Structure 1
Amino acid sequence: MAKILVKKLDPSIELPAYKTEGASGMDLMAFIKEPIILKSQNSCLVPTGIAVAFSNEFEIQIRPRSGLAAKNNISVLNTPGTIDSDYRGEIKVILYNHGKEDFLINNKDRIAQMVLAPVIKMNFEETYELPETIRGEGGFGSTGK
């Protein structure tokens, strides 16, 4: 298990936790003084009240909660959002309301989930030719429906 340092920006904040043994993500909760009304077809930035530090072998991905998406049409706008290992600020979540109704966000509402993921760095090697494949340069929809 990877070690993640977490800083609570307020003593009242509950730390994220795995809800079940098989869960891959921890729920993030809103940390807000006043409720936020997320208007239909709009986005907002929701603070969580926590900051983290972890090894540069990892990133934290911020993903939608399936229940919010299925029941309320609420998603994370930049799915998955990335928390880089060198970021030390508060984790904030960009939520988007795909629905037709406004959505109310209250303090401590579970708004997203965070997943720790390994990072594999790449090195570019410039070339004038790429190896041939069956697909070639075929783009969007080129492999069928």
Structure 2
Amino acid sequence: MVLGLVVMVAAIVAMASQVFRENLMYFYSATEVVNGDVPPQARIRLGGLVVPGSVQREPASLRVDFRMADCEHAVPVSYEGILPDLFREGQGIVATGRLQNGLFVADEVLAKHDENYMPPELAEKLGADGTGHSCAPFKSLERS
């Protein structure tokens, strides 16, 4: 009976850890996406800055296309929905979604809440001091 109980507890722990691993969402930068470090069809969080001049809104819909960049690369993003009030070009954001044929299709977009804060993971990926201004990712990306 004790052996059966131990086996049952071990099975429950194994199933719980498997569910946890499947629902774990990793944070990636644009460079990691461009380098192919993102597992196919995985739901991820993508962090970066909105490239100035890249925001395009479709008339009569809630679809917005833009590019997110880190200090090295940019990734095209498509989002359909209402954007946060703080969303703007040059803004640090975190988008949640999936990569599909080189396009990041976001189902959620979060913007930093003030100009002195950046999510720690995003600041680390950008090499930022928390303000997002330690690198100039837009000089080479605005025209590409």
TM-score, normalization by structure 1: 0.24
Which gives a bigger RCO, structure 1 or 2 (Cα 8 Å, sep 6+)?
1
- Give the number of the structure whose residues are more often helix, by fraction: 2
